[in-house]
């Protein structure tokens, strides 16, 4: 037995060349080397399961092959939509340059929205989504990371089933890891009514996929190609604050109409094709939007198939762009060196940089890892608030008085590099103010971290934080 274990241990070393050739960040490479060498067998198995984080995913030449709209052939910078172009020309030069920058980072064109509505918590989002589902005429596209098999999940499944029965095309896409508790047997009536369902699976040996660790964390809903919801909300009673163990659940979703809804339709179409090989290409899925647009908007998407890490670079660009304030809310906080430096530099030049981090979440070790960065940030002048009135799952970023971003991505390694994520960036003073009001309310419910008090925390806590920090790229 000892010989077998010894052979398995040294066999794990054969993974080291593969790890080096992946050209990960040095911190991640060293963490995995440490795991493979010093945690016999288990480290190698963990690397095989979750360490090979580059998914070979066909993007169909940036979706041109299956999009019905000729505008998909356009350059990723700028816009051919006349209403959007007029809107962009009316912006200050610096704002236009910033949009050009994030457009190049994300390799997607700048778009716009006719309306943007901030939906705070499930008591605003769930009724809004239910009303749009009930009013749908042609199609409903729904994509969630978590869909619970509880009374809330069954209520929304019934809404989708009723829509399918009245002739609406309904597609439901769930992540195989996040929604693992959801049983397909619950979909019998939905499928009989004509509904279409698929798992978004990166672990599927039949299709040569062996990536258990790569998840679709996006929350995206499209109604008739005209209305889109984007944000951090999942479906379940937990997110209604009905779980006494979790308590109050803070989250935010955005409802947008106008040209950006068609752009978000492309995101769903891309994910649906990845999951099913079915192309959503009919022109009826991409209706001509209203020319009355009021808010420049831009899709910020990330995933293991995008090597340039667009979400991370967009957040860093927001920090560099700001001259007055940057307020960020995140469920998990495990920054890399680049993001850490951007936060420090923004605060050091006098920008009001605030972080709202949930003190309570389903991965408590991430809170400990995040705290290992606090001293460095506090020294630079960053203000840190830990939300203690429940769980703050919202992902919000505000820059100055006009820029806002809402979506699914946290400030951690997983969101920046492993998960498929989706944020919506928009230019709107009114919606920036609405989100700022939400954050101000949450700051008041939080405990601000004071340097003098934080420095006096017990040695045991400081040691645990320091010991976990080198494992940040693996969490």
Whose tokens are 């307020």? That residue is: 327
Q: Is 23 a catalytic residue?
A: no
Task: State the Cα–Cα distance between residues 419 and 334, nearest whole angstrom.
Answer: 14
Q: Is 141 a catalytic residue?
A: no
Q: Which of 395, 412, 427, 442 is catalytic?
A: 395
Write the CA distances from 399 to 253, 343, 429, integer angstroms. 18, 12, 10
Task: State the Cα–Cα distance between residues 76 and 420, nearest whole angstrom.
Answer: 20
Q: Which of 238, 270, 400, 412 is catalytic?
A: 400
Residues 6+ apart with CB under 8 A from 345: 319, 320, 380
Q: Is 441 a catalytic residue?
A: no
Kindly report the number of other CB atoms within 10 A of residue 437's CB atom. 12
CB environment 34-68: b (16+ within 10 A), e (fewer): ebbeeeeeebbbbbeeebbbebebeeeeebeebbb
Kindly report the number of other CB atoms within 10 A of residue 202's CB atom. 22
Task: State the Cα–Cα distance between residues 97 and 472, nearest whole angstrom.
Answer: 34
Q: Which of 224, 251, 266, 271 is catalytic?
A: 224
Q: Are 111 and 295 in contact (CB under 8 A)?
A: no
Strand 209-210 relative to strand 203-204, pairing: antiparallel
Task: State the Cα–Cα distance between residues 2 and 10, nearest whole angstrom.
Answer: 12
Q: Is 224 a catalytic residue?
A: yes
Q: Which of 24, 139, 141, 219 is catalytic?
A: 219
Q: Which of 393, 412, 427, 442 is catalytic?
A: 393
Q: Which two tokens stand for residue 445?
A: 């419910």
Q: Which of 24, 139, 141, 217 is catalytic?
A: 217
Q: Is 138 a catalytic residue?
A: no
Numbers of helices and strands, H then E, in the chain = 19, 20
Q: Is 217 a catalytic residue?
A: yes
Provide the annotated active-site residues. Answer: 217, 219, 224, 393, 395, 400
């Amino acid at each position: 037995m000892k010989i077998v274990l010894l052979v398995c241990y040294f066999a794990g070393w054969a993974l080291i060349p593969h790890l080096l050739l992946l050209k990960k960040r040095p911190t991640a490479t060293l963490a995995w080397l440490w795991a493979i060498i010093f945690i016999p067998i288990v480290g190698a198995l963990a690397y095989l399961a979750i360490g090979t984080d580059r998914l070979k995913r066909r993007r169909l030449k940036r979706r041109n092959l299956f999009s019905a709209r000729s505008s998909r052939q356009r350059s990723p910078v700028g816009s051919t939509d006349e209403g959007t172009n007029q809107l962009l020309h009316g912006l200050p030069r610096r704002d236009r340059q910033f949009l050009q920058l994030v457009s190049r980072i994300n390799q997607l064109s700048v778009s716009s929205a006719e309306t943007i509505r901030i939906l705070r918590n499930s008591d605003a989002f769930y009724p809004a989504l239910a009303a749009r589902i009930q009013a749908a005429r042609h199609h409903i596209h729904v994509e969630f990371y978590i869909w619970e098999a509880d009374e809330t999940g069954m209520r929304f499944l019934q809404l989708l089933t009723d829509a399918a029965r009245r002739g609406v095309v309904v597609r439901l896409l769930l992540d195989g890891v996040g929604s693992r508790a959801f049983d397909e047997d619950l979909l019998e009536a939905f499928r009989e009514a004509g509904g279409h369902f698929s798992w978004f699976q990166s672990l599927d040996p039949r299709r040569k996929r062996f990536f258990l660790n790569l998840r679709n964390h996006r929350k995206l809903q499209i109604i008739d190609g005209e209305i889109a919801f984007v944000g951090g909300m999942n479906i379940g009673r937990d997110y209604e604050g009905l779980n006494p163990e979790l308590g109050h659940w803070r989250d935010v979703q955005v409802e947008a109409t106008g040209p950006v809804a068609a752009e978000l339709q492309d995101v769903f179409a891309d994910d649906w094709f990845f999951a099913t090989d079915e192309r959503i290409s009919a022109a009826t899925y991409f209706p001509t939007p209203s020319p009355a647009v009021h808010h420049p908007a831009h899709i910020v998407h990330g995933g293991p198939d995008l090597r340039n890490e667009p979400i991370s670079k967009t957040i860093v660009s927001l920090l560099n762009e700001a001259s007055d304030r940057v307020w960020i809310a995140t469920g998990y906080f495990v920054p890399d060196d680049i993001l850490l430096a951007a936060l420090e530099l923004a605060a050091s030049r006098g920008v009001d940089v605030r972080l709202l981090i949930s003190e309570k979440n389903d991965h408590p070790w991430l809170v400990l890892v995040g705290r290992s960065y606090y001293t460095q940030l506090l020294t630079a002048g960053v203000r840190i608030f830990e939300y203690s009135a429940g769980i703050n799952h919202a992902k919000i970023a505000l820059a100055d008085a006009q820029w806002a971003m809402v979506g699914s991505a946290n400030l951690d390694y997983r969101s920046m590099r492993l998960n498929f994520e989706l944020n919506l960036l928009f230019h709107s003073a009114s919606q920036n103010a609405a989100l700022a009001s939400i954050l101000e309310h949450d700051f008041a419910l939080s405990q601000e971290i004071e340097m003098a008090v934080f420095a006096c925390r017990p040695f045991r806590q400081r040691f645990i934080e320091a010991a976990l920090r080198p494992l940040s790229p693996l969490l």
